[in-house]
Copies of this chain bind each other. A is one copy, B any other.
Amino acid sequence: MISAITLDNIEHLAIGSSFLGTGGGGDPYLGSLLCREAIAKYGPVPVISVDELRDEDNIFIAAAMGAPTVMIEKLFSIEDQHRAVTTLERFLDREASAIISAEIGGCNSMMPVAYAAMRGLPIVDGDGMGRAFPALQMTSFNIEGVACAPLTIADEHGNSVLYQTTTGLKAEELARPVAAAMGASVCMSCYPMTGAQARGAVIPKTLSGAVAIGEAISLSSDPRTPLERLVAALRGHEYYKDAAVVFQGKITALDRDTSKGWVFGNCSIAAMTGSETAELQFQNENLLVSVGGRLRCVVPDLVTIVDLETAHAIPTERLAYGQRVAVVACSAPPLLTTARALEVVGPQCFGLDEQYIPLAELIEDLI
């Protein structure tokens, strides 16, 4: 485990969380600029493990909500995040003692660090997804019984909205149209937790996991290719250990539709030699990949498109015709694949017909 997020490992966190974003969660590059600025100004952010939390701690989430295609152009500010969190603090009449990421994958790994720096608070080594998901209710917090509401969102014009809903799904249904009306990109806080609640509901060690993955990809002194180093790092990890490159090729077709506050679409990849193709489907995040008609990975297991040379993840909104890519799949944290979890984050929750099959079975021949 790492003891702090500093100017030295912030880039590793960005690169690793981009991989765990499975195409979604927004490009962490922009968030990393915000983090650099905040850490330079306020100092490194201490990392606290889930085990170290006291029962009476108050853990607050800092997060963005919206369409990644919009987030590229409509940047976030810590002030808007502060308004989202303080509105929640004021309503609950309790003050944050630690900040946590709801979603370690993508941009939502970065804002909590920048915000924790500004508040002078530690950040918890863990999150609610161990990856990225497109909807509010799709968290281990929800799966393990922590209420999503009260939830707050704030825009860049000084407007904020506080939700008290009976379910996480309802919070999602009522917050999404407002996020869209606010410009499809807003700051948010939700799932306020005590330390005691966090202990069973957080997926631990994902912040340090993301840093380790980013470090492996970046370690130029290692003679292996970045892609080889990435797969090796995943195979050495507690959660992501069933891992393989399921396809390599170039992008030949791409279909993206930014609507209802999300980006939906498909991506086709053709082999460099031969006629085999891979087909990916996404809703902000990649949901499944099949190669030559054979299912190779399905949500909640992770599938990410990475650059063939650098092994850097390519977020959905940056995919382009002709890119040479590898498709990397790895297993999800166990909290996401229980029967109870699959009712919240399984293929059916995304309107897919496929049943969940553990990745280890789907890529048996590759590992």
Q: Which residues of A contact B (CB under 8 A)?
A: 87, 91, 157-166, 170, 173-174, 177-178, 180-182
Contact = CB atoms under 8 A, between A and B. Distances in A.
How many copies of this protein are present in the complex?
Answer: 2
Given A91-B91, A160-B164, A162-B162, 12 more contacts: A87-B164, A157-B170, A158-B165, A159-B164, A159-B165, A159-B170, A161-B161, A161-B164, A174-B182, A177-B178, A177-B181, A178-B178
Contacts of A180: 177
Contacts of A162: 91, 161-164
A164 B159 CA distance: 6
Contact of A181 (B91, B157, B174): B174
**Main DSSP-derived SS at the A contact region:** mixed
A91 B181 CA distance: 24
Contacts of A182: 174
Contacts of A166: 157-159
A140 to B, nearest CB: 23
A161 B160 contact: no
A57 to B, nearest CB: 24
A174 B160 CA distance: 10
A159 B173 CA distance: 11
A173 B164 contact: no
Contacts of A159: 163-166, 170, 174
A341 to B, nearest CB: 24
A165 B156 CA distance: 11
A180 B181 CA distance: 13
A20 B174 CA distance: 32
A170 B156 CA distance: 13
Contacts of A178: 174, 177-178
A63 B181 CA distance: 23
Contacts of A164: 87, 159-162
B163 A163 contact: no
